[in-house]
Chains A and B, each alone.
Chain A
């Protein structure tokens, strides 16, 4: 946990008790199956934390995360969904560089140069991203 801050929730006027920014190395979820990975991520989000995850989820895990998020809206009080972004500064190298990079991904299970940001929509209003930059806008 890096930061704790008091914020308002916005339109509803309800105060959020606080939020944390939590960094998680990929090794924490590497040996979990997809269901448990999503469960672990959502548990962090439900605790009003913004998760910075090293690496990235597989495409089918990202859609599973969206499905599970949708299933939780209406069941978890004041939960309106998530904001999600991945920054992946891929270097356009030669064929040898790409081979090396693919080998690292195969060995580690993810692209360790990537970073995934997941936060509750009640705290994170918007994430603006381009291939090399992410801007996080929080609810006032």
Chain B
């Protein structure tokens, strides 16, 4: 009861003094799904700056990256987010995979080590998110255990989830399959590369941000 009263007053006073913290919007998903591309697109549109570099080589993002005070304005409404772009989560990292991209052996081993640390960091950050966009590559089979595990953890933590079917511009993209795999969650198809269908993304994020704790 005391906590409820405390929370009530906290809500009232934070409203008075405009003290609401920025909504932490996390970008999670497997490697090379386009998390950084999407975060870059949004950051560039609203702040003029990008959040991180992108590459065809998997595990380009090996540290959690942030962009504070990203004020997104959509249909006359405005919300301020802290964007959190995370390294792609997977259950295996083999440095030999990077050799295919003409990375030398020494650098491939360093990249693999950093990638494993990045995955651990990504998982640690799950607790701190207010809303999460799970970014999937719409050309890949969505029904794999890493995706299910990420979503299961978000649900267990009561964090609102939006599933983004990225690379919708590609012919092989199958958004319906993603919808069928995760029927309980909102799914939107978009292309971070070409900025297609971002309006629907903002619409969903604004709705979910209101549900956030």
Contact = CB atoms under 8 A, between A and B. Distances in A.
Chains A and B come from one and the same complex: yes
Interface of A: 11-12, 58-60, 62-63, 66-67, 69-71, 73-74, 80-86, 121, 127-131
Contact of B94 (A121, A128, A129): A121
B120 A73 contact: no
Interface stretch (B45-53, B74-82, B85-93, B166-174): B85-93
A73 B93 CA distance: 8
Contact of A129 (B92, B113, B144, B156): B144
Given A70-B120, A73-B112, A85-B145, A62 B152 contact: yes
Contacts of A121: 91-92, 94
Interface residues of B, number: 27
A63 B153 CA distance: 8
Given A59-B156, A80-B94, A71 B144 contact: no
Contact of A83 (B92, B116, B181): B92
5 contacts: A62-B152, A69-B91, A70-B117, A127-B144, A127-B145
Nearest to B117: A70
A34 B109 CA distance: 31
